[in-house]
Structure 1
């Protein structure tokens, strides 16, 4: 991803999609399994909100490794409120255009801010798919977000990068006519 590209609009769209997804979650859903085999839905929501706060912290000038991508779990019906706070924080943290060219310390190393934004579009777009898949309630995901996430994933996570310590499995095959969400999931090693 070029340092001159600005993926903040796609990130904001992904946040809005996540907000709509959260609105469909009931307390009874929280213990469902997810495509992220190590996480129940509750644990995945915790990771996603923690990741948004970590990304906000990076936009505020902090180093990713200084904070854990996790939060203290809210009450079963409090997830929307914690997402609202995280969304406001990350939006403010990355509002300044100059941050796109600024060196930013992401979990995968120091990169220009624009590259960090792209990486977090991939993260959020992928986890939206994970959540929607776990819920299996017919939620329609945004194709543009998934397309941006897939383009970033193909650029920064080539098949040969799937070594121990990389939190993505081997690339799985996807049908040529598969939708962009299925291709994204397959590229990141999920069972679509």
Structure 2
């Protein structure tokens, strides 16, 4: 499994994670004519679980033409994940999917961000049986997990500042990995041709 890990406070975190994401995307889909789908998993009802929706909100605001699912206004969570994945498969057939999710981990990994090739299993730390998501995924460790029912409490008692900071780094890494200049240039060219 390909993987990169950086701490959110590392000044090179976004660049290194973005480059790793780009390598994975190039292996998954060497020729892309449009940006990958970004599926940002989580809910706004628990601070620790709002990492995905926060990333989705930032991306949707900065890149309104990108296919981004999961925002603070319209979260992508356990109740709508299966049907949303069907919509993605139908509407964006052939495009790779980049998933974003939060996780609990060991105390020395809090604030770490991982980018990995393959699919993430949302909710697996809380014993939820949800479908796998993504061809690549970014996970931010937002608090300490124990693997017990107390993990729900940990998600509720996570510092918003940490979630916000991890989200900022993930957004920048995705922009680097997807190549925001490439897609913005294509959108501008398409607008000029239409005008």
Do they superpose with TM above 0.5?
A: no
Tell me the TM-score normalized by structure 2: 0.28
Which has the bigger relative contact order, CA under 8 A and spacing at least 6? 2
- Which is helix-richer, 1 or 2? 1
